[in-house]
Structure 1
Amino acid sequence: MAASMRIVNLFRGQNQKLAHTGRVITIPFQRTYVLTDTEDPEFDEQEYELKLAKIRDCSGLNRAQKLKHYGKMPDVIFTEGFRGKRRNKLRRLYAAHGEASGINPGVMYPSREELSDLWDIENNWTQSFQEMKTNMENKKAAELEADRIRYEKIENAMANMDKMVKQYLDKQKKTEEDERRKDQTDTLLEEFKEQYGFNVRPDSVQFKTFKRMKSEEQKLLKSKQKKEEKKASSLKNLQKVLEKEASSKS
């Protein structure tokens, strides 16, 4: 049985009689309702579904946005003489939908302006084969020359390796000697302060005299140590001779 459809706005607390059942209901909330009557032979089911879908739609999208969302062909009015962004849009549509889009396939071909730009790029900005070959040869020659210079530097460095090693060792020895002298000077400055009770500069006359005196004391001490070592060595040798003679007599 066909049914009619009515879209009405009902308010909370309002009573509404259902035609197909005769029952009266109380509306709980204020909202829009779709009421149907199964006794109406003029009911259009397709119109009913469209209106019902419109009520249910809460996306907020317009028709163009919905068509784009579902991947369908938008409403396009094809006009001749299109340019710029309009032309690019039609190309994208034809690429996506093909002949079903109803767009003239000629839109996919480049325009006179585009062909002119391509021609200008190819002739003025794109290198010819001979130019690219020449550039590659020059680049390769430059790389070979750089390698030759680097190898030459390596060979020269290897030839001077012994000299460079000697220079490094001499420099290291000099650095160690300077550090040793500095430590010795610092030690003598501390001894001078402890002995005389005031500080002096390393280049002062007092410190130079003190340093010379200490140097002489060190020389005397070393000389004394050598004499004692020599005396001890002589006594040791004499002891060996006496022991050897004693053993030979027995």
Structure 2
Amino acid sequence: MNLCVRSYLKPNFINSFFRLSTSVSEIGEASEQVIFEDADDTQAKEAELEKKRNKSRLSSAHFNLTHGRRPYETPMCLAHKTVKYNRKLYGKYGSASGINPSLCWPSKQDIQEKLEYESVAFPYTIQQMMQMAAEKRKAQQLKIETREKEVAAKFDKLAQWKKELKDKINKKTADAQAAKDKRERLVEEVRRHFGFKLDPRDERFQEMLAKREKEQKKLEKLAKKEAKEKMMIAKLQQQNAELK
């Protein structure tokens, strides 16, 4: 009977041990699987948490800008692929931008274009520009000095010009007074011609006044001609005397 019991218990014990070993191995594999799954999902969970923490409702590009990061990780348009844009990114964010710094150096074509532009925009050397500036200053100074001399010379003639202007005004005043006196004299002569008082607006008076004015102009013209002839004769006589 003891043998039978022993033989009965032995297989059951082996089977139980096998089942226990299987359960432990399955638990270990499950634990390893959970660990691997946690490691893979950590980054996704952190991203999800970061997204939930962002209460500003800013776009990802604006959010990155406010936190001092480059706005886009990948180019979003053709402009983001240009050299100029990538140089600006590196200049602002440095190595954190992920841009190769060699891109910031100009190419041979850029250098050649720059040299051509400078040769057209700045054709003179520094020495030539300094010389041109000195000549320009010299010309300006000469112009100022010339202007000052002209002002000084005109200031010296100011008294003479005042006298000439005064004489001119006096002459005009005298001529106007002489013309007035002349007309009054003619009017008086016409009145004496008729021998009685006559209205100056009368047609006969106006005709006689016009006739007298015409005669007076003729006499004045003859007087000027005679004065001119006398002047020429005196000038010729003076020349003949100098020749002798």
| TM-score w.r.t. length of structure 1 | 0.43
| TM-score w.r.t. length of structure 2 | 0.44
User: If each structure's helix is expressed as a fraction of its own residues, which one has the higher value?
Assistant: 2
Q: Which entry has the higher C-alpha Rg, 1 or 2?
A: 2
User: If each structure's strand is expressed as a fraction of its own residues, which one has the higher value?
Assistant: 1
